[in-house]
A and B are shown apart, each in its own frame.
Chain A
């Protein structure tokens, strides 16, 4: 049972498993890497074969005619619940008024992520629709067949006379039943050996631009429940005092004053710190303020981000540790180039800073079973971790996958951090009550797992005719997967998450060398919405723009020339350029910049239209084009491009997480500053029509807005912004 042992997997074993990483392999073929993709694929062989009863595993139809779809994919806002429901409704013939979606867990065979080889259930890498496109359509179609068979049997008519529409079954002789009427009988019918999926020409739900998310109303009236809202009898709330420096440990603590705080019930040590448990959040917060903890910082990271960046910049000028891609001979081409252009780009640590601070709830029941509520992005892994802490078997642990107030990668961690804390605290108080561990904003901001800081150094060579003939890109920074169970993904010294988007640049350049130097820093790092592409897109697309400016060419025309062998990229860029009117002058005082980038198997282009106000860019209008294969939910895709644009824009304008003497400086949204409504541009989204299988949208809207804005600033006569965030160097 692979899902049970994932947390304890020996990295060496992963790396040598028979089939390796399925997705790793496809990622190489596809020329990119995705965020959460570790899949020891040896288990894949026993995932797909066993037929599953769709009415047990994927779709519950209740006698009251409600239809609940059991989602393998966790919804942190990007809309996979609605996407999966769309696939089911299309094939099942249900009515939207019947539909609800619930997070499922605990059965890897049913819910394993197919893009990760099926060996673990998880959400990430913008794979939700891709992994579900066949699975949930087939589930809907099979369930429909079974409902028809049940009705045909009940009415003693041939199945061919039964039809399904709007959640009802009818036949030609006037019989009629709801799904609910037939649900029990249908679930016991033989599984269809083959199901025929609808012809795309007959789709009424997939691709329907007018379809709206089934869960929007609940989010507008406060009834949509998140982990923070879990209500259980006797529920206690805990906050945890974590070490102020990464790698430090508890030396000693004094709980006396904390225990005097009204409402505090317990103060307990857990592996990750000291937990203060109270009757409510305020008691726990006040109790923690009264707590005294002495920390052992012998093993702690004590460097600040300034020292870390200085070290990276020095390393960027030295020889690279590993080579991620080499074509031709970049070194020779650079030494014989008529002109060499050089630049260095710097990227800070970034916090996910999702609106719902991390949390999880744990309860042990009288029969010894455990229940854990949370934003379980990799529920199989968290089930194993929870079981180990509680000393029970994984199958005795029920994982309740809650909808979550943002995530952006933060809820997929190999050691299950806040989930482990909830179970640890429950155990430490002898399971006398269910416990919610709730991080404050400051805990969340200072709790680590950041987008790593990186430095990119570039050299480009032009020949005597001003042709771009050499490209060398050296990336310096921490590995996200090193030291985790996903370490086996590192190949020939290259963590793909460090170089994705840089090692697979689509441009036709004869001599390319992309290198990596991985650093050793104890600041915990993690995938952050769009992972490697959050820095590679900015670095590559900004530097390429510098090179094109040096050549004296048009940024659009020159890119199109370099994309001759990549028609998909070219088509996306062209659509954006056409819609933005690239070839016509920008309005007076406005300037445009563009960028195109592939991530998570989708291609996105951004064109930003800005003006400058005292040296600071104001982004007025953004045109986005996206090719994400078949557009299952066009309006959700548009929303993801709009939101991804805002998320990416905020990060390059003013987001930065800094450390001094190993301690994080920012604690809240006053000092760590995501985009607010007054800086949100108008975003127009255009989807490239496609008949290819769906690819990602949750992350691909993020990467290329940054360089588009940077390139627009340069077009406005401003300088090239090579140190992020822009707020550090703008307005002066």
Chain B
């Protein structure tokens, strides 16, 4: 069956099974590979995308439930918050292997959109679902605070 999805502002039809997770539509059918597969069980956050602005584990959202939503992946995330977060990520050398960082950035952007001056507690709540096996957490935390500071200025 064909499903119409709006990914990064483009409306496209995907002829796939209804139970196919959005993650695999994005990666294997749409060819947008910035979104990563880490666990397939909403345990690691590497597949985080924005669905109507809400950070969502794309491995747990089946394509039939994504129709009618606006989906944003790391390739399509734009605006001042996203640009600032990505700039800060490079300035602070947040990533190590980088595999989880698409998801971390998407989670961080969503947090800052919602909470412009997050506390450490806010950061823990928003990003505890995003695993980083390299344990770059100290710099992720610092990066979010720094982005908040730059965005306020």
Q: Which residues of A contact B (CB under 8 A)?
A: 75-79, 212-213, 215-226, 228-229, 231, 237, 262, 279-282, 286, 353-357, 403-408, 438, 440-441, 635-636, 639, 642-647, 649-650, 668-670, 674-678, 680, 682-683
Contact = CB atoms under 8 A, between A and B. Distances in A.
Nearest to A408: B133
A215 B99 CA distance: 12
Interface in B72-130: 73-75, 85-86, 89-91, 93-102, 105, 123-124, 127-128, 130
Contacts of A643: 96, 134-136
A217 B74 CA distance: 13
Q: How large is the interface on B (under 10, 10 to 19, 20 to 34, 35 or more residues)?
A: 35 or more
A677 B36 contact: no
B53 interface: no
A668 B41 contact: yes
A407 B96 CA distance: 12
A677 B123 contact: yes
B137 A647 contact: no
Nearest to A355: B99
B151 interface: no
Contacts of A286: 17
Interface centre among B90, B97, B139 (most CB of A within 10 A): B97
B133 A406 contact: yes
A223 B135 CA distance: 21
Contacts of B28: 237, 279-282
B-side binding surface: helix, strand, loop or mixed? loop
6 contacts: A224-B98, A282-B17, A355-B134, A646-B135, A646-B136, A675-B137
B128 A405 contact: no
Contact of A221 (B24, B33, B74, B139): B74
Contact of B36 (A223, A355, A646): A355
Given A228-B33, A680-B138, A355 B128 contact: no
Nearest to B107: A677
A222 B73 contact: yes
A606 to B, nearest CB: 14
Given A220-B89, A220-B95, A642-B135, A355 B38 contact: yes
B96 A77 contact: yes
A281 B41 contact: no
B46 interface: yes
Contacts, number: 186
B40 A222 contact: no
B62 to A, nearest CB: 10
Contacts of A76: 97
A234 to B, nearest CB: 13
Contacts of B44: 355, 441, 669
A459 B105 CA distance: 50
Interface in B24-73: 24, 27-29, 31, 33-41, 43-44, 46, 73
A147 B28 CA distance: 44
**Which residue among A77, A222, A354, A404 has the maximum number of chain B CB atoms within 10 Å of its CB?**
A222
A280 B17 CA distance: 12
A410 to B, nearest CB: 11
Given A228-B37, A357-B38, A676-B128, A217 B90 contact: yes
A162 to B, nearest CB: 34
A404 B38 CA distance: 13
A194 B140 CA distance: 45
B34 A356 contact: no
Nearest to B95: A219
Given A668-B43, A674-B131, A357 B137 contact: no
Contact of B128 (A237, A677, A682): A677
Given A355-B133, A441-B39, A680-B137, A406 B95 contact: no
Max chain A CB contacts within 10 Å: which of B86, B96, B102?
Answer: B96
Contact of A406 (B94, B97, B138): B97
Given A222-B34, A405-B97, A280 B24 contact: yes
Given A282-B24, A674-B131, A221 B34 contact: yes
Contacts of B24: 280-282
A683 B95 CA distance: 16
Nearest to B25: A282
Given A212-B90, A220-B101, A405-B99, A77 B134 contact: yes
A267 to B, nearest CB: 18
